[in-house]
Amino acid sequence: LELRRMSVGREHRGHGLAQALCREVLAFARARGYSAVVLSTSVVQVAAQRLYEGVGFRRVGASYPLLLCTLLNFQVLRYRHDLGDGAK
């Protein structure tokens, strides 16, 4: 299952909502038999990286999606959270 475009409004940050949303996505995927949840974020999204790593995601790769990104050293980071014996 791919988690895409998760965001919490600035006025609601710092209250654990993003962490709760991540845990809910993991529970949703696990209940439906998925073996993992994957996502991407950028190297500048340090708070997002901490969030994902804090709920058990591990970094599995990085890439430069465009030549300009390579020149600017702007990486897209890939994360994965394995869920166990899922079938999908």
What's the confidence (pLDDT) of residue 8?
A: 92
Domains parsed from the chain with CATH numbers:
2-82 (3.40.630.30)
pLDDT of residue 68: 66
pLDDT at 62: 86
What pLDDT is recorded for position 75?
Answer: 83
Sheet holding 58-63, edge to edge: 36-42, 76-82, 58-63
Tens of pLDDT along the chain (88 residues)?
999 989 899 999 899 999 999 999 999 999 999 999 999 998 888 999 999 999 999 999 987 766 665 666 678 899 999 998 655 5
In whole angstroms, give the CA distance from residue 88 to residue 1: 8
What is the model's pLDDT at position 69?
A: 57
Name the E strands within 1-88.
36-42, 58-63, 76-82
